[in-house]
Amino acid sequence: MVLRVSVGIIGAYSLKYESRSQLEAWDMIRESIKGVLNSVDKGIDPRDIELVIVSNFSDGYGNLLHSGPLAVDYLGNPSAKAFRVENACVSGSTALYIAYNFLKAGLARNALIVGFEKMSTQPSGSAANEILAKAAHPLEIVAGASFAGLYALIAKAYMDKYGLKEEDMALVAVKNHENAVRNPLAQFRRKITIEEVLSSQYVAWPLKLMDSSPLTDGAAALIVSAEPKMYTDTPAYIKGISMAHDKPGVFQREDMAMLRAIKEAADNAYRQAGVTARNINVFEVHDAFTIAEIVIYEMLGLAERGKGASLLKERTVWFDGSHPVNVSGGLKAKGHPIGATGVGMLAEVFWQVRGEAGERQVKDAEIGLVENHGGTGATVVVTILSR
Ligand code: COA
């Protein structure tokens, strides 16, 4: 039986994302839990948190498995039940999806979500090509494909179909780096120019280093409640949350110039929340590579098919535009610590709809959307949060 409860996020915390953290993975978990407990306006007794979900992609990075009981210990509630969830880059939003459904079903009153990844323990070649690449289709893995290579296929298909140029994709990187300057939690707080993007090294034509999200160390945490008003006067309510899947391999898809499951998840989430893209004030989306952000605009209904780049040229999606996207800096410049990524995106929109995002606060943001995906869009979760 699904109860008529309003589930909301009542606390959020994030470590600063960085390239080479001095902290061990377990220290990152502990710090995030301490931070998120302190972030709840009216406070929360750890004994009221019955469910703990740890979002983490690979022990190949942080040298840590079975992190659930560790998180329970750091939380200080030995009766809580815990497990780790792995769903590639969408592990964080998957953790929220599970917590939301536990709470809706009355199986817990409050849940802690903590996401972490310490990617710098590996040289970038093995971090990206050996460990991350395992989240692709088996035939792509056997062929030695990297995610840069797979997104390059998507970019090529899109360029052929719609005439997109490399300088159009570069605008995504320029915008997101500019946004990251306002975000003290971001890995790269540095403006870049189109020329810098275009002259950066190719990692998989037509994508270059500056079209890519980086390898990042980071952790973030949320507390989600079925009784949010007990803990804060201003929760961020989960108005819609939906998961959808596409074929896991890029080569299996009829149209490689789209990310179909994003549209399916977004349409469901909009329906649940009773809104359309036009009503959303702030978006955090999964710009793992610049081409992804352009396709995402279209899948979310912000632009027609083939017209995504026009939103960049018309400044609609810039910080001062009508529909700002990735004001945190996005994966591109804020960073992409896989297991923490979705949790951090949700934290950002939580702060935005509560008016707590400091210099990067979007004026009058009441309703925000997080689009987080894994693989090349094989698993997608779209979440809509509102004051
Ligand atoms: N964006 C901007 N700057 C970046 C960057 C990025 N993505 N990656 C690295 N840099 C910077 C570094 O800070 C460094 O600057 P410095 O010389 O001023 O210190 C410089 O570029 C070189 O860094 P380095 O760590 O040697 O880069 P690299 O060549 O080892 O790795 C990539 C660069 C792009 C190959 C790597 O970040 C990568 O594989 N990214 C994709 C990760 C991925 O696939 N994620 C999953 C998506 S689904």
Residue 93 C-alpha from the chain's centroid: 7
Catalytic residues: 89, 336
Burial class (CB in 10 A: 0-12, 13-18, 19+), 160: exposed
Q: What is the pLDDT of residue 129?
A: 87
**What distance in angstroms lies between residue 81's CA and the mean position of ligand 1's atoms?**
37
Q: How far does residue 123's CA lie from ligand 1's centre (Å)? A: 11
Give the pairing of strands 217-225 and 110-118.
Answer: antiparallel
Query: Which residue, judged by its Cα, is nearest atom 36 of ligand 1?
Result: 214
* Confidence (pLDDT) at 133: 95
* Ligand 1 atom having least distance to the Cα of 210: 1
Give the N- to C-terminal CA distance of the chain in Å, as an integer.
26
Band (173; pLDDT cuts 50, 70, 90): very high
Would you say the CB of residue 203 lies under 6 angstroms from ligand 1? yes
Q: Residue 41: pLDDT above 60?
A: yes
Q: What is the rounded average pLDDT of the residues 282-286?
A: 99
Atom of ligand 1 nearest to the CA of 288: 47
Q: How far is the CA of 247 from the centre of ligand 1 (A)?
A: 28
Residue that is written with structure tokens 């160390």 in the block: 217
Q: Is 266 in the pocket of ligand 1 (CB under 6 A)?
A: no
Query: Contact 373/259 with Cβ under 8 angstroms?
Result: yes
Q: How remote is the CA of residue 210 from the centroid of ligand 1, in Å?
A: 8
Q: Could you tell me which of 357, 102, 362 has the C-alpha nearest to residue 241?
A: 102
Distance 148 CA to ligand 1 centre (A): 11
pLDDT beyond 80 at 4 = no
- Hey, whose CA ends up nearest to atom 26 of ligand 1? 124
pLDDT band at 3 (very low <50, low <70, confident <90, very high): low
Q: Is the pLDDT at 290 greater than 90, yes or no? A: yes
Q: Which residue puts its alpha carbon closest to atom 28 of ligand 1?
A: 124
101: Cβ–Cβ under 8 A, 6 or more apart, which residues? none
Tens digits of residue pLDDT in 75-117: 999 999 999 999 999 999 999 999 999 999 999 999 999 999 9
Determine if ligand 1 sits within 6 Å of the CB of residue 123: no
From 209, 210, 332, 380, give the residue whose CB has the most ligand 1 atoms within 8 Å, as the site to mutate: 209
pLDDT tens for 208-222 read 999 999 999 999 999
User: What is the amino acid identity at position 331?
Assistant: L
188 C-beta closer than 6 A to ligand 1: yes
Question: Which residue, chain included where needed, has tokens 């052929």?
Answer: 160
- pLDDT tens-digit profile of 328-373? 999 999 999 999 999 999 999 999 999 999 999 999 999 999 999 9
Ligand 1 centroid to residue 124 C-alpha, Å: 8
Q: Which CATH superfamily is domain 8-122+216-230 in?
A: Thiolase/Chalcone synthase (3.40.47.10)
Give me the phi and psi of 336, to 5 degrees please: -140, 70
Cα 335 → chain centroid: 10
Q: Which atom of ligand 1 has the smallest separation from the CA of 123?
A: 30
234 burial (CB, 10 Å; 0-12 / 13-18 / 19+) is: middle
- Rounded to 5 degrees, φ, ψ at 8 are -140, 155
Q: Above 60 in pLDDT, residue 1?
A: no
The two three-digit tokens of residue 327, written as one number: 């004001």
Q: What are the CA-CA distances from residue 261 to residues 266, 341, 378 (Å)?
A: 8, 19, 7
Confidence of residue 184 (pLDDT cuts 50, 70, 90): very high
